[in-house]
Structure 1
Amino acid sequence: MKRNSIIFSDYCHQVSSCYLHPSFSRTNLSFVWFSSSSFGATGTRSFPNYSPKKPSIRDSELVHHISTIIKQRRCEPFRRILRPFESKFRPDHLIWVLMDIKNDYRLVLNFFEWSCIRRDPSLEARCIFIQIAVAAKDLNMVKNLFHEFWSKHDIDGNTSFTQFLEKIIYTYKDWGSNPYVFDIFFQVLVENGRLDDARNLFDKMLNYGVVLSLESCNLFLSRLSKVVDGPNMTLKVFNEFSEVGIQWNTASYNIVMHSLCQSSNVREAHNLLLQMELRGCMPDAISYSTVINGYCNRGELQLMLKVVENMKEKGLKPNEFTFNSIILLLCKMGKAVDAETVLREMMSQGIFPDNAVYTTLIDGYSKIGNIASALSMYEEMQGRHIIPDLITYTALICGHCQNGKVAEADKLFREMLTIGLKADEFTYTTLIDGYCKAGEIEKAFSLHNEMIQMGLIPNVVTYTILVDGLCKQGEIDTANELLLEMREKGLVLNIYTWNTLLNGLCKSGNIVQAVKLMKDMEVVGIRPDAFTYTTLMDAYCKSGKMVMAHQLLHEMFQKGIKPTLVTFNVLMNGFCVSGMLEDGQKLLKWMLDKNIMPNATTYNSLMKQYCIRNDMRAATEIYRCMGHKEVVPDENTYNILIRGHCKARNMKEAWFLHKEVVEKGCNLTAETYNALIKGFIKKKKYMEAREMFEEMRKKRLSADKEIYCTFADINYEEGNIDLTLELCDEAVESCSIDNSKD
């Protein structure tokens, strides 16, 4: 989903370009002339007087003849009328004739073109013609002459630049005196990537009291931002040029801010945005959008929202690219609902989304499992006659697969092929993954074969998914054969492939083979990681081999492999399930001593075993310890404690915890509700039991058969026949579901 950021970047470039390339009219340019005190120089120089070589009497006669004939017969081809003079014509004659006809640009142009056919003009003659052309406002011709010179003299660039600049300065005063000649020279240097020469030209002009136009300086900033260390250089030049009289405009600030954001210096760009008004320059929608996009790319939601708020306070409306950036960030953060709210605001302002925006939202909803909303976006997209592309379909297919709706995913896949879109490796792999997770290995392999027939090459990820699917089906031998096939095809097995096979071996109880596989990994140069060790440790824990599991932890430390919190939680759960609560407590203390912060899962394992032992004092102490360490309890924490208190008949504590759960918006399981209801009934607190029962029914959770019977009897005795029959139906349905599960 990188298209939004790419579009935004292109847009900024286009906007900058319209500032950087003014129409070639003198009225559009803003030159600044300074005295020495204006910019702190020791003194300004005067442009030199032009003093060309003097012609001889014979040369003067020839120049006079040529000047007279081209003036009198200007409408005739110069090749014909000047043929008698060709053998005598030298480069110096060109300059002397130009001195005589310089006020007639059309004549100058024709004569210069005639002389160029004969031979390349001297550098001095070229510069003289450039000065005349600038004075005549034939700026396209001027740019072409500059570019043509660099294309011919690009080998010895430094010498060429110095010589050219000297001649331009030398011919300036008497042949044109239009400062825009230096501007065009500067622009051509920038366009040819000669940024050092351009900077030298800028500094040289300061010595003559000339500051180049803002448009040229903006072009320089824009090109400078694209070189190595561009953002730092751009900011440096931005500050230095300000000191010598460049009055930067909004486009200038936008160029610098965009450059800073591209290099992740968003805070600095934001500071520049805040300084714009103080420096007398009003930010526009692009200014704010640049910083907003920068924060979006860095995932800094709160700072981005602050800039959006500031933008609105200034009366500026977010543009298409602002909205696109915000939507993309919100979707990346799993806030697709908020992203759709932004979409609606965008549409209310008359800005309508394109394929990229809809696809971003479809992908966002798919990743959080909200397939209904993803499909709604897809239908809205089609309703607006926006054609879905491969990325759109892949996002939908991925979302359906993640939610176990493989048949619907396959339907979308076939629909995509029908409308002429070609699936790529990622699309096929996504659907193969869906079938593997659904346990439909044959269909997964059928897709794999179809993929190959289409000329697509399955990658390591594709094969790893297939290996995982086979392992989950217990087909370890077939998975091994597939690994062999991968090697034969030249694919290098990565750590994920090995871990997948090892996980399959552990799940099927082949721990010995899993240990051998881990050793094989090291032989072929694949270093086992924390996941490898944690998987094997989990298998040892589940088989009650806690000594072996503990040894693996020590081995990890010896090899410099940092255990994850999951590693410690696996070991903790193993100790607790094996009844080794003292070892579990020691592990918890060790973690805290080493500043390894446990999470709710770590504490839940201990609490659960204390509850099973009916030691609610110890379980409560663990719960309090969580609070002291600022570990937030999860839903499982509350379910464990409430069931524990119900089992110990501590209904007051259970009731108090239930209220806390409701206030926090957490959910209780059907098992917990059953425990609460039975506990209250045993205490003869029927009102509380009924309240729990109704709450449970509202959440569409099924109660035990015994509870249904109890409340059916109560309602029957109270004369609530309809409710009694309804409860009987629910009880029958609940029992039939339970039987089908069995």
Structure 2
Amino acid sequence: MSPPTSLYKTLFLSLPNTRRFNSIPSSPTTQTLQDSIRTAIETKNFHQILHLLSSSKCPKPPHKIPENPFSFLSSFPQPLQTQIIDEILQSFIPLRPRSLPFPAYSLLLSYTLQKSPISLPLSLAVLQSTLRSGCPPALQTRLSLSVAWLDCRRSGHRKSVAQILSEVRAIGYSPDRTTCNYLLSSLCAVDELAEAVAILRDMRGAGCEPDSESYGAVIAAACEARRTDAAAELVREMVAELRLTPRQGTVVRIVAAMRANREVLRAAEMVEFLEREGCGVGFQSHEMVVEGCLERKEFVAAGKAVMEMAGRGFIPYIHVRQKVVEGLTVIGERDLASAVRRKLAELSS
């Protein structure tokens, strides 16, 4: 239940005067905007906040960026801050277009992330509202969010993934896939692969099922780091356990990473596994496997890969199939070379 307006007034009047006590002088524009937003929150006229932000004139770079106009909320106890920001977010839900409150979302997200780790659940709630507005958060949000998350996980708090996501539920928000995927990609962007994997595997416990995009982001990060063991394990997990189909770009990445690591036989096994599980693999991945086998002079594996390709209706490039047949002939695998020729001839006809 929301506190009565009189309580809001009492708490606001008890705050120190921002103009008098700021250690860094603020511009008159910032002071006026902050005071006006305080009044709008005190009277619960939350939509007025959007008008105030749109009509304010903030200095542009290289001038000093003004203080966040929501920073005065730090003088409130954390539960009351959460309640006030929740009421602001709820008041914006009916607005159309959904992007209308985006300036307020951005400032609230910046403010809550600066107060990590205590405000992390609230930050995730604001992030969810921001993403639902259809506007991407500011670029620096990924780094700020990653820092806040890691502080909460590794500082004295040492909270589990499940604990953090349950705290988001405790303030009235359900962690959704879009928000979790943004968190995953943010952690991957700062090379926190192990943390991203932990979230990926604990999402289900919080009632948020990962999808192909969730796994794709983490697999892509693992491939970028050439950690093919982790990537292969995640592919098998998403396909065999969750019955998800990896996107073609994800398959291309893992095959390319294995080829770069000179693990072409593993790449061939991965493609066979995906096909066996009913996940259609595209021409590019099949072709990369064949070319990788040729690079390593694994002509038998290359021949089998060409047969697999042909079985899926794909014909390798002419120079590739010539090298496969020639290689098989040189090592005495004439029967397999003949089988490859026949299979390709059937497709060509």
The letter of the residue matching 1:279 is E
What's the TM-score once normalised by structure 2's chain length?
Answer: 0.61
- Does residue 59 of structure 1 match 2:55? no
How far has the Cα of 1:95 moved from its partner?
Answer: 3.7
Matched, 1:266 2:253: no
CA distance in 1, matches of 2:244, 2:182: 19
| Aligned-pair CA distance for 1:244 | 3.5
Specify every segment of 5 or more residues in structure 1 that has no aligned partner in the other structure, as ranges: 1-50, 335-742
Would the aligned equivalents of 1:133 and 1:142 in 2 still touch at CA under 8 Å?
no
Cα distance in 2, alignment partners of residues 305 and 279 from structure 1: 22
Q: Structure 2 CA distance, aligned partners of 1:118 and 1:237? A: 33
Alpha carbons 1:250, 1:282 under 8 Å: kept: no
| Residue correspondence of structure 1 range 668-707 to structure 2 within 5 A | none
Determine the C-alpha separation between the residues in 2 that align with 1:292 and 1:278. Answer: 18
Q: TM-score, normalised by structure 1?
A: 0.31
Corresponding residue number in structure 2 for 1:190: 188
Task: Please report how far the alpha carbon of residue 279 of structure 1 lies from its aligned counterpart in structure 2 after TM superposition.
Answer: 1.1
The answer as to 2:49 corresponding to 1:70 is: yes
Change (3 A) 1:304 1:243: closer
Match of 1:158 in 2: 154
* Aligned equivalents of 2:183, 2:9: Cα separation in 1: 33
- CA change 1:107–1:54 in 2 (3 A) is same
Q: Who is 2:132 aligned against?
A: 135
> How far does the alpha carbon of each residue in 1:574-611 deviate from its partner, in whole angstroms, 9 at most, with x for none?
xxxxxxxxxxxxxxxxxxxxxxxxxxxxxxxxxxxxxx
Q: What SS is found at the alignment partner of 2:45?
A: helix
Tell me, what secondary structure is at the counterpart of 1:211? coil
After superposition, the Cα gap between the structure-2 partners of 1:71 and 1:260, relative to the gap in structure 1 and judged at 3 Å, is closer
Distance 1:141 1:202, change over 3 A: same
Report the identity percentage. 11
Q: For 1:102-126, what per-residue CA distance to the aligned partner results, in whole angstroms no more than 9, with x for missing partners?
A: 2426346337528958993543442
Q: In the alignment, which residue of structure 2 is the partner of 1:307?
A: 305
Give the match for residue 318 of structure 1.
Answer: 316
Aligned to 1:90: 75
Task: Indicate how the Cα distance of structure 1 residues 307 and 191 shifts in structure 2: closer, same or farther if over 3 A, else same.
Answer: same
SS in structure 1 opposite 2:43? helix
Aligned to 2:337: none
Query: Which structure would you say has the larger Rg?
Result: 1
The secondary structure found in structure 2 opposite 1:141 is coil
Q: Name the aligned partner's letter for residue 154 of structure 2.
A: N
How does 1:689-728 map onto structure 2 within 5 Å? none
Q: CA deviation at 1:247?
A: 1.2
In structure 2, do the counterparts of structure 1 residues 242 and 276 end up closer, same or farther at CA, with 3 Å as the change threshold? Answer: closer
Aligned to 1:218: 216
| Structure 1 partner of 2:230 | 233
- 1:147 is matched with 143
Amino acid in the other structure paired with 1:90: S
Aligned partners of 2:73, 2:305: CA distance in 1, in Å?
A: 72
Mapping 1:224-373, distance limit 5 Å = 224-227=222-225, 230-249=227-246, 251=248, 252-318=250-316, 323=319
Secondary structure in structure 2 of the residue aligned to 1:174: coil
- Give the Cα–Cα distance (whole angstroms) in 2 for the partners of residues 111 and 288 of structure 1: 45
Q: Deviations over 1:545-588 (max 9, x none)?
A: xxxxxxxxxxxxxxxxxxxxxxxxxxxxxxxxxxxxxxxxxxxx
Deviation at 1:224, TM superposition (A): 1.8
Q: Which amino acid aligns with 1:233?
A: A
Matched with 1:443 is none
Deviations 1:526-549 (A, max 9, x none): xxxxxxxxxxxxxxxxxxxxxxxx
Alignment-mate amino acid for residue 8 of structure 2? D
Matched, 1:110 2:95: no
5 Å-filtered alignment, 1:567-646, equals none
- Does the aligned pair in 1 maintain the 2:290–2:306 contact within 8 Å? yes
1:381-396 equivalences in 2 (<5 Å): none
Distance 1:243 1:211, change over 3 A: farther
Q: Tell me the SS of whatever aligns to 1:210.
A: coil
Q: Quick one: distance in 2 between partners of 1:285 and 1:302? A: 20
Structure 1 residue identity aligned to 2:131: V
1:77 CA displacement: 1.7
> Are the aligned partners of 1:231 and 1:260 in contact in 2 as well (CA < 8 Å)?
yes
57-66 or 86-95: bigger deviation: 86-95
Distance 1:312 1:71, change over 3 A: closer
More helix by proportion, 1 or 2? 1
One-letter amino acid matched to 1:208: A
Deviation per CA, 1:476-508, whole angstroms, max 9, x where unpaired? xxxxxxxxxxxxxxxxxxxxxxxxxxxxxxxxx
